[in-house]
Amino acid sequence: MPQGVAAANGAGALLVARGLTKHYGDVQAVRGVDFELPSNGFVTILGPSGCGKTTILRMIGGFESITAGDVTIDGRSLAGMLPNRRPVNTVFQSYALFPHLTVFDNVAFGLRLRRHDRAEVRERVVNALATVQMTAMAMRYPSQLSGGQQQRVALVRAFINEPRLLLLDEPLGALDLKMRRHMQVELKDLQRRLGLTFLYVTHDQEEAFALSDWVIVMNAGRIEQQGPPAAIYHAPDNAFVADFIGGANLVAGTVVAASAERATIDCPFGTVAAAGAEGVAVGQEASLCVRAEHVRIGPEAAACPVRFAARVRHVVFQGNTKTVEARVEGLPIVARVGHGAPVETGETVTMGFADGHLRIVRGVLAPADDEAR
């Protein structure tokens, strides 16, 4: 976990956002978010499209004005500071490589503006291009490069200026899956080597988890939850996060008992006691959350505290595992089981939720959240 992020008062943090808000006329794109970035770490803002994540990045970069709240870097407010004066650089979603300049000139753009002498510019550009194996392409124009190569040039062009913070707006969005995987490794590696802070924006939770030390999950202009990837995955706070991250099974119900760590929910599967997320209170609507890999089928379900008969609608082969989509009294349940599990489409099987993996989270899934996915 990155240092600083945990510091609630913002001491030791590189960037502090407090009540950050953006309105476009009547549209509230960002509704008062608070977060901090450490001085060395990989932080991702994760959320569906239109959740306000790119707007936050653009406010930090200086391309959107801040409606309310404030962002500080090293204690200095960014409000009213022109983009060219901010100690941040951006890797744009479209890369925005200047088409009239060669790779070399693109990368040298920022250094030349700062009036470094020719020899120094040359040396630094060559070294920076070498870190991403692009030296041979220095004299090419952007249109002569592949998507992955353009991506690397955009990255180098930004970090060569030694910003305090590198902003990355879905930089891998335009690449094919294989290239994405490859670039993810390179990005993470680069962040470690450079030792600076990356603020990364994506809607791809797999990517967010693969890269980040800290994930900020956003929805409809608000932060739903933030924390290390494992905590977000295993201990979601609310129904949106549980659903958006890995698509958990969510069974709506009402909380009938709650203590510090435990809660009991009254739901279609009966009254179930399980680990409770923070803020779960008696009388509230809540959801019983169980990951697909924690749903058992057939004999394996025997030991489960929650058991039921369900009708199998689809079995999807996925190599080592298969995903079983079943229905019990109109309620969809998804299970991920080993490829050898004896289950066929159309059967009625006994299913169960494995003990110790149940969690009661705040709220129920709104239809709108479903669409946002």
Which positions touch other proteins (CB under 8 A)? 61-63, 82-84, 88-90, 92, 94, 96-102, 105, 109-110, 113-114, 141-144, 157-158, 161
> Least distance in Å: CB of 83 to other proteins?
4
> Least distance in Å: CB of 330 to other proteins?
47
In terms of CB distance, is 102 or 350 closer to other proteins? 102
Work out the angle at residue 230's Cα, subtended by the Cα atoms of residues 294 and 40, and round it to the nearest 5 degrees.
Answer: 170
> Least distance in Å: CB of 80 to other proteins?
15
In terms of CB distance, is 41 or 110 closer to other proteins? 110
Q: How is 140-191 classified by DSSP, letter by letter? A: S-GGGS-HHHHHHHHHHHHHTT--SEEEEESTTTTS-HHHHHHHHHHHHHHH
> Least distance in Å: CB of 261 to other proteins?
46
In terms of CB distance, is 104 or 240 closer to other proteins? 104
- Would you call 294 helix, strand, or coil by DSSP? helix
In terms of CB distance, is 100 or 178 closer to other proteins? 100
In terms of CB distance, is 97 or 272 closer to other proteins? 97
Q: What are phi and psi of 228, to 5 degrees?
A: -65, 150
- Would you call 340 helix, strand, or coil by DSSP? coil
Cα distance between residue 182 and residue 204, in whole Å: 15
In terms of CB distance, is 157 or 322 closer to other proteins? 157
- Cβ neighbours, 10 Å, residue 346: 9
Angle between helices 147-159 and 118-131 (to 10 degrees): 130
Q: How is 91-147 classified by DSSP, letter by letter? A: E-TT----TTS-HHHHHHHHHHHTT--HHHHHHHHHHHHHHTT-GGGTTS-GGGS-H
> Least distance in Å: CB of 103 to other proteins?
10
> Least distance in Å: CB of 92 to other proteins?
5
